[in-house]
Amino acid sequence: MSSPVIELRNISKIYRMSQTVSVEALKDVNVKIYPGEIVIIMGPSGSGKSTFLNIVGTLDRPTSGRVYLDGVDVTDLPERELYDIRLRKIGFVFQFFNLISTLTAIENVMLPMILLGELSEKEARERALELLKIVGLGDRINSRPIQLSGGQQQRVAIARALANNPSIVLMDEPTGNVDVVSEAIILKLISILNKYFGVTFVIVTHNPEVSVIGHRIIYIRGGRLFETKEVPKISLDQPIDERRIIRSELKFLKLELVRLRKELHKGIISRDEYLARAREIEEKVHRIRRLISNAGK
């Protein structure tokens, strides 16, 4: 088995409300999440779900215990390093979308790429356009959030989460503010992105219908984790053009290889860094082609 992409060891989180009052949101939590998994975190309000997600996403620090991402202990890293890790490794999707109201859909998706600073504005726009096509919003790229439905805004948020090609996407109630049709589309999208691109998803929800796409369900009660492997399976019949999604991602991966070669020739990155990142891209392309080949048999 591969090494975990996320590992929490003996994590506890205590919020001090005053000198005499404290709330223990997480209690001695241990969990490993592996590459390519869809893990569903379920529990009632106040059970510790959001605290769990914030600690995994390095948005909050545990009171005790250690947090590992890709085998690296990130628990005590300075905020500047955590900021870089969040931009490169982690995509976030929130219940209330958190889109910037003054930006268009394509500008919202471009923003993480601009902040990371590895792509030119033209390259970031091309990548954002491909991502919006993947989530079925290629015709709404110039719409602002107020001009989009809740389901459309959440799909923009998913595109934004994928902008920097993260290995982990964290979702907090991704279907909490969308209609039933949009919920089915979003769940199907997550399944496709996981299947073909190997993205690891950690999804916090109180909605049992979300669990149909999960590989594992972890329940939180009173800050403690309880796991079950009994995941209900149903068919998601919402039609989505999988081939278009695959073509768009393959196009981006080829462009990414071209960009890396240019950076190598200009001396921006070392040959070792180029080879490591090119190998990651080649592995993704191989995975996609292998799945396509197996589907045709």
How far apart are the C-alpha atoms of 78 and 74, rounded to whole Å? 9
Q: How far is CA 168 from CA 90, 160, 216, 232, in A?
A: 5, 13, 16, 23
* pLDDT tens track for 179-196: 777 788 888 888 888 888
Ranges 100-109, 124-133, 207-216, most confident:
100-109
Percent with pLDDT over 90 in the chain = 35
For 233-250, write each residue's pLDDT tens digit: 444 555 566 677 777 777
CB 103, CB 111: distance < 8 Å:
yes
pTM of the model: 0.77
Q: Give the distance from CA 276 to its chain's centroid.
A: 22
Q: What is the pLDDT of residues 105-122, one digit of tens each?
A: 999 999 999 999 888 899
Q: Which of 141, 25, 160 is nearest to 94 (CA)?
A: 160
What is the CB neighbour count within 10 angstroms for residue 181?
11
pLDDT at residue 167 tops 90: no
Kindly report the CATH number that applies to the domain delimited by 6-240.
Answer: 3.40.50.300
Which backbone phi and psi does 17 adopt, to 5 degrees?
Answer: -85, -30
Identify the band that residue 231 occupies on the pLDDT scale cut at 50, 70 and 90: very low
The pLDDT value given to residue 211? 81
Q: What is the mean pLDDT of the chain?
A: 85
By CB atoms closer than 10 A (0-12, 13-18, 19+), residue 250 is middle
